[in-house]
Copies of this chain bind each other. A is one copy, B any other.
Amino acid sequence: MTIGDGLVAIAAALAVMTGIFSTAGQGYVAAKAVEAVGKNPEAENEIRTMLILGAGIAETAAIYGLLIAFLILFAY
């Protein structure tokens, strides 16, 4: 591989690293969901719905990074 190939591979890695705080952010959401269901188990359905919606919104940037990583590796 040339140095140029290596830099392109590093670019793909950096792109997917956009999601690096995803487990931290979504972990915080999940922690609050676990705490809420421990306090109020009857609201489990509402809590789960909100967890999935909120975490889905927080997922978008990680997916943007994954998309650019694919494009750099295979369409560039």
**Interface set of A (CB-CB < 8 Å, partner B):** 1-44, 46-55, 57-69, 71-73, 75-76
Most central of A37, A41, A72 by chain B CB within 10 Å: A37
- Given that A7-B9, A12-B68, A14-B17 are known contacts, is A26 also in contact with B73, CB under 8 Å in the complex? no
Question: Are B16 and A19 interface neighbours, CB within 8 A?
Answer: no
List of B residues within 8 angstroms of A34 by Cβ: 29, 32-33, 36, 47, 50-51, 54
List of B residues within 8 angstroms of A3 by Cβ: 3-4, 6-7
Q: Can you add 15 more A-B contacts, CB < 8 Å, to A21-B24, A25-B28?
A: A1-B2, A10-B13, A10-B14, A11-B11, A16-B18, A20-B20, A21-B23, A22-B61, A23-B62, A35-B35, A41-B46, A44-B50, A48-B53, A57-B59, A68-B73
